[in-house]
Amino acid sequence: MLDWTDRHCRYFHRTLSRRARLYTEMITTGALLHGDLARHLDFDSAERPVALQLGGSEPDELAHCARLGERWGYDEINLNCGCPSERVQRGSFGACLMAEPALVADCVRAMRDAVSIPVTVKHRIGLDRNEDYGFVRDFVGHLFDADCRVFIVHARNAWLKGLSPKENREVPPLRYATVHRLKRDFPSATFVLNGGLHTLAEARAQLAFVDGVMLGRAAYHDPYLLAQVDASLFDADAAVPARADIVAAMEDYLRRAVAAGERPRAIVSHMLGLYQGRPGARRWRRMLSDPEFLAREGRHALSAAAGGFGARVALAD
């Protein structure tokens, strides 16, 4: 998720789940070809398994950037063919690439030839108001022929005109049955369903039809949802981390990040929803959003916020 799932966010999410696969925000090939590589690609090894999501449409450029991702230690290279924003469309990548399956197949081949780690594709189930199943089936078929075997499918069309990115996550109807049908038609491929999943019960229900599920904004706004993923979806005996332990782990990370020159807000902004639905959650959010509080407490902001409205409320589950 652009501007959200940066390395600080991913480190936080990894304290919640050891098994979930994490994805970077979309990074364009131009940013890697002409920008600060370390700023875009550095990550903590604790985040693994983590996938690098790329945005681009030139096979040679994508191959070069895939090699960079493998060199940096990423576990997967993912090509974004699902983002519908007009800014992304102007760069001729994202969801508009679904109209050019042969080009996307060339991109996949180039990246697969360049790296030894998996190359995957994230896409929508259609463009604009065309809900013909044949469109997405043929798109997947082109990529399957290019030896792509993992498809992360947002189960909505992308309406390229007239809707904001937010509206594109809400207005086009969800059509899970289309993703289920793709799995039936390509049984040897892996399909991960994305879109509209708000609870782990909903996620479990989809696993009867597909190989995996992807959680986005639901997990960002209510991150403690991720704390139950390992036990719910992977191993019933897995321990569910307490919020207090998560705060303690992130306090240590915050101290190290601030000592390295990061602003406290860059870390704690991803944690505003940790106490979602719990007593004191509003005060937790308010304190961690207060520039004066963050400037005063600095590397101790998390423990100060937790203690600021009573350890019994803040740190007891």
DSSP state of 260: T
Distance between first and last Cα of the chain: 29
> Is 82 within the bounds of a domain?
yes
CA dihedral 159, 160, 164, 170 (to 10 degrees): 20
Domain boundary among 208, 231, 254: 231
Residue 85 CB coordination number (10 Å): 19
Nearest CA to 210 out of 237, 176, 246 is that of 176
Active-site option among 9, 65, 83, 107: 83
The answer on 311 and 214 residing in a single domain is: no
**What CATH number is attached to the domain comprising 195?**
3.20.20.70
Q: Is there a catalytic annotation at residue 83?
A: yes
> What pTM value is reported for the model?
0.93
Measured between alpha carbons, how far is 128 from 94 in angstroms, rounded to an integer? 14
- Identify the domain containing residue 204 by its residue range: 7-231
42-51, 64-73, 166-175, range with the lowest pLDDT: 166-175
> Is 97 within the bounds of a domain?
yes
Which two structure tokens, joined as six digits, stand for 211? 């190989």
The answer on 31 and 163 residing in a single domain is: yes
The answer on 156 and 282 residing in a single domain is: no
> Is 139 within the bounds of a domain?
yes
Strand spans (E) along the chain = 22-23, 27-28, 50-55, 76-81, 119-123, 126-127, 150-154, 157-158, 190-194, 212-214
Distant-in-sequence, close-in-space partners of 252: CB < 8 Å, separation ≥ 6: none
The answer on 116 and 18 residing in a single domain is: yes
The answer on 278 and 147 residing in a single domain is: no
Q: How many domains are contained in the chain?
A: 2
The answer on 298 and 177 residing in a single domain is: no
pLDDT of residue 179: 98
Tell me the average pLDDT of the chain. 93
Measured between alpha carbons, how far is 66 from 79 in angstroms, rounded to an integer? 10
144-148, 279-283, 309-313, range with the lowest pLDDT: 309-313
Chain Cα centroid distance, residue 119: 16
Give 193-217 as a DSSP string.
EESS--SHHHHHHHTTTSSEEE--H
The answer on 305 and 202 residing in a single domain is: no
The answer on 215 and 103 residing in a single domain is: yes
Per-residue pLDDT of 245-265, as tens digits, reads 999 999 999 999 999 999 999
> Is 236 within the bounds of a domain?
no
